[in-house]
């Protein structure tokens, strides 16, 4: 793993941060294309990316700290100064709240903006997961003997067992779940991208994104190291189920809501 790409003087440039920047650029480019297609000023994409990135990073870090509260209390500066330690669903919530402010300011209907951003979110997420893989951000999977297993020996988060916090012994390999999620993200993007040109009610693409991303995360959690919190399911799986339920319900109600609006 390559947690630090290089240094600018005493300041390390983390590979995780570099790929997060690349993810933001990728998402911004997709949003730029969609804004232009809908007849909006495509330069709004930069504001969406900036607000979404700031809100997303804050939300992801806050939820991560909440999840790891006991460790945070013991070593707060390790959490504040490190380039690692983010929780995806915290980032989603923070990013949506921040992007909503931009959308309201620009006068774009929220559901239409959500459809514009859905393919961008899918692709950007995949790019970001490559950063997790390269840096070893601690979201690898359980031990495995499959040929494609990976040893994250120089991981930024520490190459340790999630329960014992003891370093893995030499030769141990785990499922490279960031790569799995990258591939899932490509599939989701490949589904959403052609559908966006269909004559669906506003919000349809975003609700579908919630369903697909929720299913993808729910499945990959069976190979990840996150502990179960209730009903043998992890926190991410419960969030995922919530996303699937909400997306499915609103997708089901969408045609009726559209007719009522007319």
Tell me the pTM.
0.84
Question: What's 86's DSSP letter?
Answer: -
202-241 per-position pLDDT tens digit = 999 999 999 999 999 999 999 998 888 888 998 889 989 9
* Strand (E) or helix (H) holding 233: strand 233-234
| CA pair distance 145, 173, nearest whole angstrom | 7
| CA pair distance 254, 248, nearest whole angstrom | 10
R_g of the chain, CA atoms, integer Å: 19
108-157 per-position pLDDT tens digit = 999 999 999 999 999 999 999 999 999 988 889 999 999 999 999 988 88
Return the sign of the alpha-carbon dihedral for residues 107, 111, 121, 139. Answer: positive
Spans of all domains in the chain? 4-261
Paired tokens of 144: 């495995």
Query: Which of 235, 216, 254 is CA-nearest to residue 63?
Result: 235
């Amino acid at each position: 793993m390559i947690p630090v790409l290089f240094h600018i003087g005493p300041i390390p440039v983390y590979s995780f941060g570099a790929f997060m920047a690349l993810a933001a650029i990728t998402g911004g480019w997709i949003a730029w294309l969609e804004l232009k297609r809908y007849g909006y000023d495509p330069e709004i994409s930069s504001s969406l990316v900036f607000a979404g990135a700031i809100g997303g990073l804050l939300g992801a870090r806050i939820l991560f700290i909440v999840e790891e509260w006991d460790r945070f209390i013991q070593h707060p500066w390790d959490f504040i100064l490190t380039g690692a330690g983010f929780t995806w669903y915290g980032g989603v919530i923070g990013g949506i709240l921040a992007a909503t402010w931009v959308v309201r300011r620009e006068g774009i209907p929220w559901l239409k903006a959500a459809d514009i951003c859905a393919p961008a979110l899918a692709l950007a997420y995949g790019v970001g997961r490559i950063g997790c893989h390269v840096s070893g951000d601690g979201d690898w999977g359980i031990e495995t003997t499959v040929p494609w297993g990976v040893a994250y020996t120089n991981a930024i988060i520490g190459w340790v067992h999630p329960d014992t916090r003891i370093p893995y012994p030499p030769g141990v390999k785990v499922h490279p779940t960031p790569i799995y999620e990258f591939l899932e993200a490509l599939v989701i993007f490949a589904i959403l991208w052609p559908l966006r040109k269909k004559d669906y009610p506003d919000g349809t693409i975003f609700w579908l994104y919630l369903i697909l991303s929720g299913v993808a995360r729910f499945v990959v959690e069976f190979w990840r190291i996150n502990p179960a919190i209730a009903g043998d399911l992890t926190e991410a799986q419960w969030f995922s189920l919530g996303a699937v339920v909400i997306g499915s319900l609103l997708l089901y109600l969408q045609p009726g809501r559209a007719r009522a609006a007319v």
